[in-house]
Amino acid sequence: MIKDIFLRRFGKSMVLFCALSVRFVAAAELNVPDDFSTIQAAIDAATSGDSVIVEVGSYTENVTLKSGVDVRGAELARTFLEPETPEDPVVLADGIDDVLFANFTLISGQLGFDVINSTNLEVANNVFDTIGQVALQIDADSQVDVLNCVFWNNVNAIRRGTADAQITNVAFIGNVVTINSPISSIIDPNTNVDNCGFFDNDDLKDSGVDDGYGTDKVIGDPLFAATDDFDFHLRQDSPFIDVGLGADVIDNTTADIGAYGGTFAEARPYPLAAPVVSDAGGASSPPYSIQVDWSANLAYLVTNTVMPGSYRVYYRQNQSGPPYDGTDAGNGTQPSPVDAGDSTTLTLEDLQPSVGGAAAPQLLSVEPRDSSAIVTWEAVTGAADYRVYYGMQSVDENQVDAGDVTSLTVGGLENGIEYRFAVSAMAQPVYHISVTARDSTQNKNESAFSPESTLAIGPLTEGELSNELTATPDVTTPYPDLPDKGCFVATAAFGVDWSAEVQALRDFRDRFLVTNRPGRAFVRWYYRNGPAAAVLIAEFDDVRPVVRGLLWPLVVIALFALNAPPAAFIALLLLCFSLLVMRRAASFKQLFTRSVG
């Protein structure tokens, strides 16, 4: 009798092994999204013998399979499929033959996978996560192998109407109902259910104790690595390790129960979270070092007290993303990647950071204010800091570091003086760092890169100066009920500070008054007394025409001075001075005559 049992189990194992192993070589591989934007478009374009390979990502569509066309996700835990139309099946197999559907995580929707009148269909290494009604439904006229899947928190995991639905190495965790059948075609839930794992399913709890179906069932917490991240790898000490039927393609041992066991298992470890990087030396002076810390990958082929896997730290200067081909760690002796063993921390020491100068910024505006000016510029890619230059005769007379901003108020300026401004960008070397996990198998299967972390470290390098702009600080005390502010008597008289008359007087001030000591003294006196006069003019409309009449001769003189040759302007000044002297002399003569008479 023992011999008969052995032969029956051995024969069953060999049949399963042959069924999983003997598959023809696909004629072509159609890639999504590189070749086709949707999974369905790739399936429609494929012919029998082709395979559709779906890269990592989230895909929202309802997929209908085609005979002879395999559909596989590139990485189970990161290739998601959810329905565009929630009331329709996420995946439909209707009247098809000879298809493998593997390495997907199906999420949401009411019906995950609907099988109708289909044969030689293999549903392998998929995760069915929180499907609203039925995760996998198989009608009475189909023949399906369900291999190494995980049914997680579904209302109904598998509903089958035929005993030709073989369920092997499948994990049923947290479902309301695990395996049942339609009333019209009742199938014993123990039939053709082999080496499956069960935990915390509502329909299999007897007085709070978990139970399961089929032969060689395993009851217990599977110890999944990180279900919040859809990572259903098994941790060390999981009862689901090496208790399945057949062999694992990953480590060539007895198959695990769950999505990472069996012939079609995807071998790569789940990617790590972004590492934490910190300055371990001096941010601005050598020696430069960066400490890299990360959280462990908890899959038992990586984190293991007997045979652990390992980690690699990849780095690169001044450019994001792979290839991470840095060469300067350890003073050039530790090119990327650097092996960290099974530790979750590594220090990149004796780095040699360097970077070229940043591009010259574009200076956008300089707005004058009272004893100050607001300088604004465009951001420069890769700039870590900016430096503002300014002066009366040359921009390099003064400088101030602005930080990582695009605007700075420069104070301590003298009103009435024209200043010149420019800006430069400061670049600092930036290290881009990623970490991978490798398992302990002979192949050292390596995860995809973690999200990248960056750290600016090393000396600042200054780029070229921007364009120059000028501005003349002004007192900007506002006055009531005027459309503009800061231009005092002339603005109050003419209404706005952008009128031609006001601008002419401003230009005269900048060109002829602030360039000499007497003129600057007059400007300072005007700034002290002008606001009060402007308030009076603004309050009494009848005064404005009188003030405009008084200012018009000054405007005419200003326009003449700004546009006439210097000799003509000097002649005009002499003429005005002569007229004034003659007028004073006439007044003195008239007064003298009256006194004598």
Domain ranges for the chain? 2-234, 276-355+430-457, 363-429+462-471, 488-563
Tokens encoding 127:
């995760």
Residue 317 zone, left/alpha/beta (φ > 0; ψ -120 to 50; rest)? beta
Torsion, CA 498, CA 501, CA 503, CA 505, rounded to 10: -140
Q: Is the pLDDT of residue 531 over 50?
A: yes
The C-alpha atoms of residue 351 and residue 542 are separated, in whole angstroms, by 76
Tokens encoding 224:
């999944």
Q: Is the pLDDT of residue 295 over 80?
A: yes
Q: Domain 2-234's class?
A: mainly beta
Q: Are 128 and 148 in contact (CB under 8 A)?
A: no
Query: Sorting pLDDT into bands at 50, 70 and 90, what band is 215?
Result: very high
The C-alpha angle 440, 442, 443, rounded to 5 degrees, equals 95
Q: Are 448 and 271 in contact (CB under 8 A)?
A: yes
Give the pLDDT of residue 577.
57
Q: Which amino acid is it at 305?
A: T
Q: Are 377 and 466 in contact (CB under 8 A)?
A: yes
Torsion, CA 258, CA 66, CA 46, CA 110, rounded to 10: -60
- pTM score > 0.75 for this model? no
Query: Sorting pLDDT into bands at 50, 70 and 90, what band is 582?
Result: low
For residue 31, CA distances in Å to 43, 60, 218, 458, 481 come to 10, 17, 38, 42, 69
Query: Sorting pLDDT into bands at 50, 70 and 90, what band is 214?
Result: very high
Query: Sorting pLDDT into bands at 50, 70 and 90, what band is 206?
Result: confident
Give 400: exposed, middle or buried? Use CB within 10 Å, 0-12, 13-18, 19+. Answer: middle
The C-alpha atoms of residue 175 and residue 152 are separated, in whole angstroms, by 6
Helices (H) and strands (E) in the chain, counts: 8, 41
- Strands lying side by side in the sheet with 407-410: 363-369, 372-377, 407-410
The C-alpha atoms of residue 540 and residue 535 are separated, in whole angstroms, by 9
Q: In percent, how much of the chain has pLDDT > 90?
A: 70
The C-alpha atoms of residue 138 and residue 115 are separated, in whole angstroms, by 5
Q: Which residue has the higher pLDDT, 548 or 467?
A: 467
| Fold matches, 2-234 and 276-355+430-457 | no
- 304 membership: H or E segment, kind and range: none
Q: Is the pLDDT of residue 271 over 60?
A: yes
Q: Is the pLDDT of residue 23 over 50?
A: no
Mean pLDDT, the chain, integer: 86
Query: Sorting pLDDT into bands at 50, 70 and 90, what band is 26?
Result: very low
Q: Is the pLDDT of residue 536 over 60?
A: yes
- The CATH superfamily holding the domain 276-355+430-457 is Immunoglobulins (2.60.40.10)
* β-bridge partners, 64: 92
Poorest-pLDDT segment among 178-187, 391-400, 506-515: 506-515
Number of other CB atoms surrounding residue 549 within 10 Å = 10
Q: List b or e across 244-255, with b for residues whose CB sees 16 or more CB atoms inside 10 angstroms.
A: bbbbbbbbeeeb
Q: In percent, how much of the chain has pLDDT > 70?
A: 77
**CATH T-level fold of 363-429+462-471:** Immunoglobulin-like (2.60.40)
Q: Are 421 and 389 in contact (CB under 8 A)?
A: yes
Q: Find tokens 């003429």 and name the residue.
A: 575
Give 587: exposed, middle or buried? Use CB within 10 Å, 0-12, 13-18, 19+. Answer: exposed
Tokens encoding 280:
């371990």
Number of other CB atoms surrounding residue 484 within 10 Å = 15
Give the pLDDT of residue 281.
81
Q: Is the pLDDT of residue 62 over 90?
A: yes
Q: Are 489 and 475 in contact (CB under 8 A)?
A: no
* β-bridge partners, 168: 147, 194
Residue 89 in 3-state DSSP?
coil
- Among 135, 39, 143, 147, smallest CA distance to 98 is for 143
